[in-house]
Amino acid sequence: MIHKTEAEEREYLNAVTQKLNNALEEIDNKVSGYTKDLQEQKNYLYENKSDMDHVEKNAVRQSVTTAALTGEAALERKKRIQKLLKSPYFGRFDFSENGNGQAFPVYVGVHAYFDEAEKANLIHDWRAPISTLFYDFENGPAYYETPDGRVDGIILLKRQYRIRNGKMEYMLESSLNIHDDILQKELSKASDDKMNHIVATIQRNQNAIIRNETSRELIIQGVAGSGKTSIALHRIAFLLYRFREDISSEDILILSPNKVFADYISNVLPELGEEKIPELGMEELAANLLDGKYRFQTFFQQVSALLEKNNEAFRERIQFKSTFGFVKKLNEYLAHIENNYFEPEMLMVKRNPVPVDYIEEHFRKWHRVPLFSRFNKVVEDIERDLLFYNNYEISGKERNELRKSVKNMFRITNLRALYKDFYEWLEMPEMLKMAAKSAYEYSDVFPLIFLKMKLEGAGSFSKVKHLLVDEMQDYTPVQYAVLARLFPCKKTILGDASQSVNTYSSSSSEEIAKVFPGADVMKLNKSYRSTYEIASFAQKIIPNTEMEAMERHGEEPAVIHCKNRAGELKLIQERIAAFKESEHHSLGIICKTQKQAAQIHNELSEEFPDAILLTEESAAFSGGVIVCSVHMSKGLEFDEVVVPGADAKNYHSSNDRSLFYIACTRAMHKLSITFVEEKSLFLNGE
């Protein structure tokens, strides 16, 4: 066996580092060569421009572009090698193909490195077909799939390394699973400002999700902290590698819940050597689809209104619009207006009559075309037939008048009016109510878009080749119906039914799968984020028999009864002071509502002016002391979390239960919960 002992491994690491350094030097030389070349060619072009014909100029220009591109590619390679130099690889396995006894070591890293001199891959990209063996198998028989078929063999040795800044911190023989010491060590670290890549410790079931190539829609239901978001981003990195000829980063779209979350995850793909992925919020998408013409409440405002005002009718409106039955009703209404709202009349074009029957027949003929596009189709038919049968050519003015007349035969063609009419048709006009400043309520936004799309045709997101939807539980059937039409591409949809900020309109993986009949649903039940104690504590709030807590131990969550509000504030201040002395990087103070968060932030601001309040407008995530509402904390994690106001009065409804669960599961290492009067029943496991 090669590099058997730890000393040999260290020597090997030095040798690899040397090679990487040499490669870097070579690139530097080449790049300065390209730059010189480029400058010379540019000078040449400039000095001889007047003597050149356009063919010559084009040739020089083209060669300048090629040189620049080669230079860029070299710089890209340089960046990768620099990254590898810090940590060339994290794993190794010795694989004997067909078990013929001859085993060769495969070192796995964030990128591949091909050694020209040896004509061999010194480091394999973690996404390469062979690298899956590292995640999928222990010592013994193993196989992997390649585009050319299955390769069988035996793994004779498996090792993991922690190499930082070019130094090997430790090396572990792992005859067992990867769920071992390295994962424990990784998880007990203090957080960073941004989500990190986890390629060294991807678990087997996570690997299966990342490398899934076949699902059209892959729905990932995972408990809090099970790695859904991390895995989805690694899946994107995998797809970009596996299908690099067909998909590039700009062909992918992430639908993200807010800018803070988008910023929090923004690091993962660049860390893995991929470009940043375009990202869009649901509200931005909605505004775009409604051509920016409609004012509407945001999801954040909807949730705030739900929590801050006890308005039964508002809840009912939301609930009503969050079912499959509602989408069905919208479709029934569309059929109803199609059958009943078109009232054709005879038209005269100069002295040529166009009979009612003709118009009716041609309107029906175009039934495959969106309703509002049919008017022009009918006019085109009239124009063609007048020419053919009556030898009459209509003028531009007549065409415009015809269009207007045919459109007017439809009883309502204004989207707002139609949407209102829909509720009248339902005999439930009370279900439509405008929010403040005559904006639509959030629950009306996607039904409106649904109608608009059906009436006018779908928008243009056909360029997107893969869509990633996070926090899937927060979207309703009508939103999924819109997404399904808008994005016919493959999708990864992920979330957790237990983590809804608005249980009146949440969707489970089973419900979402109904919109996408061919979808595969995969589950992640192991929680990695929180200590065993925190995960078990959260289990009492929303029990889930499938949830498995990671055996990483820490302090028991503290539930503290404070004498009064002042006492509660004092306690929070003490926690902040202790946090500042600790090795931890982030402390989240998570309140039920935005109002409560703003109040606590205000109260803390004198003593801790650096505490940050997250609002709907926030665009960045950083470490330190963060005060926020549960809604804003979604998807994020903190070394320590304080949940103030855990009183029975504050947390009591089923929606509150979900919010309380989300708040507690943001904590990685330490959780404190405070209350003043009577503690919430959720703390008694009720």
Residue 91 makes contact with ligand ATP by CB under 6 A = no
How many CB atoms are closer than 10 A to CB 395?
A: 10
Query: CA-CA distance, 209 to 237, in Å (whole number)?
Result: 12
Return the range that interacts with ligand ATP (CB under 6 A); candidates 67-75, 111-119, 198-206, 652-660. 198-206
Q: Are 285 and 291 contacting, i.e. CB atoms less than 8 angstroms apart?
A: no
Find the shortest distance in angstroms from Cβ 637 to ligand ATP.
Answer: 6
What is the DSSP code (8-state) at residue 394? P
Query: CA-CA distance, 121 to 137, in Å (whole number)?
Result: 21
Return the range that interacts with ligand ATP (CB under 6 A); candidates 74-82, 168-176, 197-205, 386-394. 197-205
Rg (CA), the chain: 31
Is 624 labelled a binding residue?
no
Query: CA-CA distance, 686 to 652, in Å (whole number)?
Result: 10
Find the shortest distance in angstroms from Cβ 484 to ligand ATP.
Answer: 23
What residues from 525 to 544 belong to the interface with ligand ATP (CB under 6 A)? 528-529
Is 226 labelled a binding residue?
yes
Residue 473 makes contact with ligand ATP by CB under 6 A = no
Residue 548 makes contact with ligand ATP by CB under 6 A = no
The residue assigned the tokens 């060569």 is 33
Q: H or E segment at 10?
A: helix 6-48
Closer to ligand ATP by Cβ: residue 158 or 228: 228
Among 64, 122, 198, 453, binds ligand ATP (CB under 6 A): 198
Instruction: Give phi and psi for 647, each to the nearest 5.
Output: -90, 155
Return the range that interacts with ligand ATP (CB under 6 A); candidates 196-204, 431-439, 585-593, 600-608. 196-204
Among 87, 131, 174, 206, binds ligand ATP (CB under 6 A): 206
Query: CA-CA distance, 173 to 504, in Å (whole number)?
Result: 50
Query: CA-CA distance, 47 to 29, in Å (whole number)?
Result: 27
Is 527 labelled a binding residue?
no
And the tokens for 666? 């943001």
Closer to ligand ATP by Cβ: residue 254 or 604: 254
Closer to ligand ATP by Cβ: residue 153 or 635: 635
| Pairing outcome for strands 624-629 and 586-591 | parallel
Closer to ligand ATP by Cβ: residue 547 or 625: 547
Is 223 labelled a binding residue?
yes
- B/e letters for 298-308, b = 16+ CB within 10 Å, e = fewer, are bbbbbbbbbbe
- B/e letters for 101-113, b = 16+ CB within 10 Å, e = fewer, are eebeebbbbbbbb
Closer to ligand ATP by Cβ: residue 111 or 234: 234
Binding mask of the shown chain, residues 341 to 380, with x at each position contacting ligand ATP by CB under 6 A: ----------------------------------------
Among 91, 109, 222, 344, binds ligand ATP (CB under 6 A): 222
Query: CA-CA distance, 29 to 503, in Å (whole number)?
Result: 60
Residue 256 makes contact with ligand ATP by CB under 6 A = no
Is 515 labelled a binding residue?
no
Site size for ligand ATP, by CB under 6 A?
A: 24
Find the shortest distance in angstroms from Cβ 262 to ligand ATP.
Answer: 14
Q: In angstroms, how far is CA 157 from the centroid of its own chain?
A: 37
Give me the amino acid identity at 214. T
Query: CA-CA distance, 151 to 130, in Å (whole number)?
Result: 9
Find the shortest distance in angstroms from Cβ 239 to ligand ATP.
Answer: 17
Is 201 labelled a binding residue?
no
Residue 230 makes contact with ligand ATP by CB under 6 A = yes
And the tokens for 508? 């489970």
Is 228 labelled a binding residue?
yes
Find the shortest distance in angstroms from Cβ 413 to ligand ATP.
Answer: 44
Among 539, 665, 672, 680, binds ligand ATP (CB under 6 A): 665
Among 87, 132, 174, 201, binds ligand ATP (CB under 6 A): 201
Residue 224 makes contact with ligand ATP by CB under 6 A = yes
Residue 228 makes contact with ligand ATP by CB under 6 A = yes
Closer to ligand ATP by Cβ: residue 297 or 633: 633
Give me the amino acid identity at 39. Q
Return the range that interacts with ligand ATP (CB under 6 A); candidates 47-55, 81-89, 224-232, 534-542. 224-232
What residues from 600 to 659 belong to the interface with ligand ATP (CB under 6 A)? 635, 637
- B/e letters for 513-536, b = 16+ CB within 10 Å, e = fewer, are bebbeebebbebebbbbbbebbbe
Helix/strand/coil for 549: strand
Is 215 labelled a binding residue?
no
Q: Are 258 and 300 contacting, i.e. CB atoms less than 8 angstroms apart?
A: yes
Please, what sign has the CA dihedral across residues 48, 51, 57, 60?
negative
Closest CA to 484 of 518, 523, 455, 440: 518
What residues from 481 to 520 belong to the interface with ligand ATP (CB under 6 A)? 496, 499
Residue 229 makes contact with ligand ATP by CB under 6 A = yes
Q: H or E segment at 120?
A: strand 120-125
Closer to ligand ATP by Cβ: residue 206 or 301: 206
Which residues does the annotation place in the binding site for ATP? 222-229
Q: Which residues bind ligand ATP (CB under 6 A)?
A: 183, 186-187, 196, 198, 201-203, 206, 222, 224-230, 496, 499, 528-529, 635, 637, 665
Mark the binding-site residues, compressed into ranges. Answer: 222-229
